[in-house]
Structure 1
């Protein structure tokens, strides 16, 4: 089956979130959503334990590797490694505002150096045959958002980037925490709309502040796609409606119980390979959000976070079944 290369609906890369266990879980909920890894630094991809950092299940396609870095040579080597692992896309992080990222001279601070980002993109594109994309902000600190975004996109597009995922907020590198940077700087969807109108030749995906699939559907009509992050991670069962709502699929969405059963099989395989069950189940705490028994589900998984039992999800499912009316 050919890989879906559309960007109509994407699940955002989240640090300490969208690891391979999380992505496997999300893929059970949606066959069509485009998935992204956590940001992995170029140095880690080159020098780290590659199977651990970059390995993924074939079911995850389409899946993109997000890289952090600012040195063209290292990013090119890391992108080549990622392509060798079978990723469908290399995405460059130009949006993360954390102190650790700033100290490494990459992430959102690269909005100030579009020529360097262009050099990085151009270098990666010469080395790999898969799309090289950029996830960015509107600008940083005191930059004028319209000037910074349009100028940034112009230079990076000239280097060959055709796909931009735009978090529709500025990033404040001084004075705001990474968490505050996700909520305090105001959203400006209109600016991203103007970018799409000015550059219809580019694929422009909107990110930031999208809380529901219905909102995503409405906004996707104006852009080439939408990307949800915290909302999708915290209330993952919303992903079960993506294929029908966003792609017109007619197959029935999986039930929560079906997903838990499939994930229980996954936990057992992972446990046999030395993976702690909590490394998987921590991504599932919000599965029953908004449904009866949600609190009991979260409590059981949280209280048993240290349990070394491969049957943990079977036990959790029995608790949920016991709550069902006779």
Structure 2
């Protein structure tokens, strides 16, 4: 079985989400990668060095400069004539491209897989992660998105893939890129951070959120996250949100400050290796998944903890 993996990149380097997708694809068979963009030869060379990769298809065209799904999907469909499966990281871009590819191929997409049980069988979370479904597909072509936290990351070095330029399908004229506002953040990105400190609505305000969470995160070299309630209240920006409708994370250490533990939030972080919860409510659901729980007033506990680090 030949598998085509969409390479998530920023124009200069391969993103970590791709490495997990490569591991998942490797369980299906031979791994080929697709690097699409403008002036992305260096990305293709880096992708070819990923362990386990046999071939890198390079589509260098202005039409793919911003990974518009309306332009990328026809390119993927063209390449699927020689591949049995298409695999995307379950990122914003991946979840935009994959459904269009599935529709054009007239197959059912299997979303957000957690494991590969066989050439046509996969597991995925349902009911906010409270149950795991085993899904078997009879489609001739597979379209999969991969939850990055469920698979080990492939080694970024050690591979010897061959880079091969492919014919592009050009701009379909269905959408245009108008602009973007990228949030600048000196801290580790949430999906790749080894330590995350997240704050909840109990912090009371945006000022309190940053006054308590940021110094603790800086001491730990951690990324900063937030519950949906904190984001909805305006304490933190949207890209901080951890949860079913935010980012799915699995760091080495996850510190939940003033987070009660709603199902939506737990679905996004319960795979963390060590969960530390700080909450004044000893009956909060977060303590059911926490490895270390501290019942206390966060306005006293967090500054004291930060000072002692």
User: What is the TM-score normalised by the length of structure 2?
Assistant: 0.31
Structure number with the higher strand fraction is 2
TM-score, reference length from structure 1: 0.30
- Which has more radius of gyration? 2
